Structure 1
Amino acid sequence: MKLLERLLSSALVADDLKNQLFAFLGGNAQEFPALGGQNLTRVQAADLLCELIPAEIQVRGICSLPVAAVAAAPHVSFDNWSEYFCNRIARRLHIGWVVAKNFRDQHAATIPVSIGRHIHVNRPTESDGPGRTEYESERARAVHEQYLTAIREASGRASLPVDLLAEFHSHHRTPDLEIATAGVNEELAADLFQFYNSLREKRPLLPAMKIAPLHELRLSADAARKSGSIRTEVARVALHIEIPLEMRQSESLRRLMLVSLRLTIDELLKQLQANPEIA
């Protein structure tokens, strides 16, 4: 019987065990007094938490449009509210829908200490924690390939590239909505910028938008554009959407941001359907 099964079979419920392991890893003790007389090292405790909090990539919907379009949230449980935006926009626009959960640890609400799992999913790299240097690894490459496969499946296509990938992320570095891109020229970026600004004129609480290649971005998604999902090999048009903190802090602001992003992406979908060579 696996260690996890032995521990949970002794009436210690999963949440209690997780909390005890979090407390252990957050302290200085070197061994966790497990049940059955077996002590756990810090590495074993982290591995056990990885079993209790599984990382997974889910295809939640298949695109039903003439163009192959997918919304994705690769950093759920790390990028706050990214799943909220991804889910609702995908359902409303009838596009494919992919989420990846629990691959990046040290989220204050769900994984308050590092459990040795900070895999970036939308690129074939991991790091030793938030803000640390990225490096390629076998497990990171495997996760990234699984993510690309999920995008393809959600698009309804037999192979990549899809026509549109919209990735949802969240940030707190600036008050702006920032969109890094692939397959977007200045003319298309200007069209989307003008469309969004027409919405903003009627909705003054919306943040300013910056979109590449029209603007210089603080959050340029360089790693994902170099070797990850924000490349034309993956999607003819790719949007890496960074939603600012201010627009995630209340339901009214989230709804405002949600509707505006949905309308902007829908405008792009209409352009892609009308002119398949637009990018």
Structure 2
Amino acid sequence: MAISTFVPQIWEARLLEHLDKALVYGNLVNRDYEGDIRNQGDTVKINQIGDITVNNYTKGSNITYESVDGTPTTLTIDQAKYFAFKVEDIDQVQANVNLVDGAMARASYALRDVVDKHIAAHYTDVTNTIGDDTTPESITSANKAYEALVDLRTALDEKNVQSTGRFVVVPPAFYAYMLKDSRFVAAGTSKTDSVLANGFIGQAAGFDIYQSNNVPNTEGTLYKVMAGTRQGISYAQQILSTEALRLEGTFSDAVRGQLVYGSVTVQPNALAVLTCNLR
């Protein structure tokens, strides 16, 4: 690929396409405020409306109006990452595939891991929990894995979390137990036979189930399995620039790009976290 054919908007679109396909946690958040950010350091104020009281009405009496006031939460674009790579002319000529296009795809997958780990770390904001590092749930069979999902469902039900659009993200060892459970396999489709690009593996206990190697774990074995809805976490990202340049002192084209992003837990009650031991 010659620099003369490099169109930043096209390559940014390719980068985002690869990134969005690869994201697991990043596709399980709301991105309602993404259009409001432009640069690292930008902030967006998100107002959360409190509950509205329902009162008894008596004919002929005056009604009382309560003030509606939003509790502000700040989404800060405080993360900045970049990638940069070069392709020597001789490699470009001899390669059977477009090295730059392939490298851009790999860059997006590398960014995916960084972004997903960042979002997954929001499990620490959740107070709706099952088990902890001292007394984790022990998942040692398919039956216990399914029961753990039911417990997560109950935890969300008790917080009046909407039942539609619920997700749970599990590590591979948890998924292995699920594959041995007929309640999971029978409820799925051909999608349960292979993990799709975004990690979706099937449905059970009212959840869309996703698999990720980025499920946080402590002590190397205690996994933090997060469930909930997309209303729990807000996320926004922006590619600041992608550009091609000719490097001095070498016969190479280079490509570099910068991604800024941020996330915040806006509705912790819309999430639940299971701490489990899979050994």
* TM-score, scaled to structure 1: 0.28
More strand by share: 2
Larger RCO: Structure 1 or Structure 2 (Cα < 8 Å, ≥ 6 residues apart)? 2
Bigger radius of gyration among the two: 2
More helix by share: 1
